[in-house]
Amino acid sequence: VQLVESGGGLVQPGGSLRLSCAASGFTFSNNYMRWARQAPGKGLEWVSIISDDGSFTSYVDSIKGRFTVSRDNEKSTQYLQMNSLKSEDTGLYYCATGVPQYGLGTPPDFAEGYWGQGTQVTVSS
């Protein structure tokens, strides 16, 4: 299993970024996918979940209405469109799969599932 995130960078508050997660080594269309993030000096938190066919999505409250998760099963890629970015969105963003089927309120654990290497998002003026 390989997950490769891209699309991070430096953006001003109020700006937008789109993260991508390219997957390989497993049947992408059969798997739920997640995004998680870790802000400087803080713990890892879940950001979103998307079902295998994209029909179900869930978001952490802090990003609802600003971020949108999607996927393209033909391209084996998951996306996170991030709009109206705030300084508190700064952090390392990870793509994950194979995680036990618990909700966003259960803290992530790198020991569970498969994870990418992360892509840095910095929101600053």
pLDDT at site 37? 98
Residue 15 phi, psi (nearest 5): -80, -175
Instruction: Provide Rg for the chain, Cα atoms.
Output: 13
Burial class (CB in 10 A: 0-12, 13-18, 19+), 73: middle
Q: Using the predicted structure, report yes or no on whether residue 82 has a pLDDT greater than 90.
A: yes
Please give the pLDDT value at position 100. Answer: 87
pLDDT tens per residue, range 32-49: 999 999 999 999 999 999
Q: What does the angle CA 90 – CA 50 – CA 110 come to, to the nearest 5 degrees? A: 55
Contact in structure between 86 and 24 (CB atoms under 8 Å)? no
Share of the chain above pLDDT 70, in %: 100
Give the pLDDT score at 12: 98
Question: How does pLDDT run across 84-116, given as a tens digit for each residue?
Answer: 999 999 999 999 999 988 889 899 999 999 999
